[in-house]
Amino acid sequence: MSKGRSHSVFAGLAAGAVLLSAMPAVPVVAAGDEVNALMHDTFEGGASSWEGRGSASAENSSSNSYEGSGALYVSGRGASWNGAQKTLDTSEFKPGSTYSFSVKAGFFDGRSKSNKMMLSLQYKDGNDETVYGHIADGETVRGRYVQLANSSYTIPADASDLILYVETEKGTDSFYVDDLIIAPEGTVIEGPAETHFASGDLNFSGRIDVFDSILARRGLINGFTDSASQLAADVNEDGEYKIDDLVQISTFVMGRKNEFDVYIPPKPEFVYDANLQYKPAPDNDQISYFRQPAEHGNVIKEHYNGINGEKNMYVYVPYGYDESKKYNVFYLMHGGGESEETCFNDNAINIDIMLDNMIANGDIEPMIVVTPTFNKCSSADAVWDEMRRSIIPYVESKYSTYAEGDVSLGSLQASRYHRAYGGFSMGAGSTWANFNNNLDIIAYFMPLSGHCWAGANAVLEAARKSGFTNREYFVLAATGTKDLAYDNMVPMINELKKHTDVFQYTSDFSQGNFYFLEAQGNVHWWPQVRHYIYDALPYFFHEGT
């Protein structure tokens, strides 16, 4: 088995007897059926008026219940705040009064190993402002429930429009809700305690010791009855529990090891075509990249206040977006007379649906795609400054990218190989402007049907002044032979090709860094231009680090 990075297990504490923080014992005053409940949703016969929150759906399920045979299944979540919600009647749950809240929640599949579940209350305050009040939270491991309970939560006196909801701290994994109880103040309801995940701690005792080693041996022979324990036993994180995991656990317990070796699968080498040819995305009765697949990503409208005032942009996150993972980012700019609405909200374009199908069919890895706007800038090419100071910092401090939430200049420079910018028409002009000004934080560029208004020499000068070699930035441009931009692009492309110190002309980016894709007969029109993205985007994000 090939091994990659190692991670420290409970770093700084003695191997074999590592303590985790323990939850204080809570006295049991009442169990489910013994509670004098003001509301008790068991989900035995339906969803009990719960519904999905955000893009999520919530429905009754006979799987993975905490008690009885029913639970509420929450799926289709596009963001961590998407979950399950229920409206509370203020005639029953009076503002200014205090109650005991308890619900069980857990997740049983998906990518995350652990997550924090949260119970909250949304309401309108006396100023008609929406407020999100925290009731309780608890951490759990995949395969186990946790209780979210607060025996003394006061609904604010000026609250109205009460909505109780369950969400997660991060990620979009589906989860289950069961046994919701609202009872008189002070009622303490029994339920499962928090479970803190740590590789090798199979019994979640807070230490890795001989008992974990015994469980690991039994699991290898007889299998695990607890899926959470099996998850903790997979210490090399290759997705399976095997003999290597048992050996590592045993070695750790004996004090001969203080960290586990984690398996990193080799990344398959991308096969470039050195002479890429235009090919439209499939769109026929058998297969269409413009029909929404079952695994549909989520398009989120974002509002921000940047250097050019308050603006909107849209962020596409792929199906199964997981905040514990890192994603490449493609910033895609519209053309003249258009806006941030164009690419994802125009039914004649539907680039988000094309991205869904490209990801589902393995053409590209799951990635984040952002559609900002150059409107309100002094010109389209001036948006490079807003990209640098407002747009990229906003997106990459909020979403899970290779910047890892750090949007300092050094971090953005270090993660530049995981960032691309492209655009159509005037958006292509802004692409060349980003090349000229933001080469230190962006490595991939896709100008579509548009040339550099400052001329070829400006591009060459920017590349030379950057200090980068021609193996450290990549440009894949495209247009149609009947496109109004064609006659401006061709002379510039031919001039750039002459300067081999700056550009090595090939679409094999393992050997060069510059290519021009021509589509015979295509005109200056998004329904044709979108196919250039289909052809070009698979060639991005394979070089660099």
Question: What pLDDT does residue 171 have?
Answer: 79
Question: What pLDDT does residue 127 have?
Answer: 95
State both tokens at 433.
Answer: 């402007």
What three-state secondary structure class fits 425? Answer: coil
Q: Is residue 225 predicted with pLDDT exceeding 70?
A: yes
Domain ranges for the chain, please list them.
6-17+206-261, 32-184, 298-539
Kindly give the interhelix angle for 351-360 and 526-536, rounded to the nearest 10 degrees: 30
Q: What is the pLDDT of residues 499-513, one digit of tens each?
A: 999 999 999 999 999
Q: What is the pLDDT of residues 28-43, one digit of tens each?
A: 455 555 668 999 999 9
Tell me the HSE value of 274 on the side-chain side, using a 13 A CA sphere. Answer: 5
State both tokens at 19.
Answer: 């303590």
Say if CB 111 and CB 325 are below 8 A apart: yes
| CATH entry, 32-184, from 2.60.120.260, 1.10.10.10, 3.40.1160.10, 3.40.720.10 | 2.60.120.260
Percent helix, strand and coil across the chain, each rounded to 5? 25, 25, 50
Cross-strand pairs, 203: none
Strand pairing class (98-107; 144-154)? antiparallel
Section 84-103 average pLDDT: 97
Assess if CATH 3.20.20.80 describes domain 6-17+206-261: no
Element (H, E) at 429: helix 426-438
Question: What pLDDT does residue 268 have?
Answer: 80
pLDDT class for 263, splitting at 50, 70, 90? confident
Q: Is residue 4 predicted with pLDDT exceeding 70?
A: no
Question: Buried b vs exposed e over 446-479: b needs ≥16 C-beta within 10 Å?
Answer: bbbbbbbbeebeebbebbeeeebebebbbbbbbb
Say if CB 305 and CB 324 are below 8 A apart: no
pTM of the predicted structure, to 2 decimals: 0.68
CATH of domain 298-539: 3.40.50.1820
- The residues, ordered by sequence, that sit 6+ positions from 268 with a Cβ below 8 Å of its Cβ are none
Q: What is the pLDDT of residues 411-461, one digit of tens each?
A: 999 999 999 999 999 999 999 999 999 999 999 999 999 999 999 999 999
